[in-house]
Amino acid sequence: MITNPKVLEYLDIISPLNSSVAEEIRAEAKKNYIPIIKRDTENLLKFVLKMQNPGSILEIGCAIGYSAIVMLENSNANIWTVEKMPDRVEEAKRNIKYAGFESRIKILEGDADDILKSLADKHKKFDFIFMDAAKAQYIMWLPIVKELLKEAGMIFSDNCLQEGDLLESSFAIRKRDKTIYKRMREYIYLLLHDETLDSWIFSIGDGVLLSRSRR
């Protein structure tokens, strides 16, 4: 992946901007050190949305609502988004209202395990699933995420390569990260070898894994 700061800064400068509201929210997030989607990853996300033209999106990991707003600006979809941190939920609600997208988004507050199970029990299906939450849980959620995916639907998994740290020797990885990286390597392998999916991995941002249902 490209890590040269000058190249990344150049790409950030020349990339088409979002609405003034989205850019304002992005600037505020960076100012307050709130992690949001990187610009090159965001560009890929917007391109895929334009190509896929989903009618329904499930986002796992709403945070302050920035990525949901970007997806709403670049599709005609309605979004269901999951977030368990109450303070982030309240900030996301404010941002989404500010952006004027309240009618197209439903925030599901609580633990993703419970919410995903509830959605599956209700036989909900989505055209596009954007995963940007606890990385160690990706592999745990995979069976139910596949169940929630519509025919020819797509999964967009962000932060899969952990800025390249995923490839480091286990001796160089902090103890608290070992489980995360082990599970993520397993997640990548499973998706790339799943006969029900076509998957591609991209070394942009922190690593993106795109998967499309063959069903």
Residues flagged as binding site for S-adenosyl-L-methionine: 37, 67, 83, 111-112, 132
Which residue ranges make up the annotated binding site?
Answer: 37, 67, 83, 111-112, 132, 158-159
Which residue ranges make up the annotated binding site for Mg(2+)?
Answer: 132, 158-159
Residue 17 DSSP label: P
Look up tokens 């895929």; give the residue. 48
Judging by beta carbons within 10 Å of its beta carbon (0-12, 13-18, 19+), is residue 207 exposed, middle or buried?
buried
Judging by beta carbons within 10 Å of its beta carbon (0-12, 13-18, 19+), is residue 208 exposed, middle or buried?
buried
Residue 99 DSSP label: H
Look at residue 106 and give its three-state secondary structure: strand
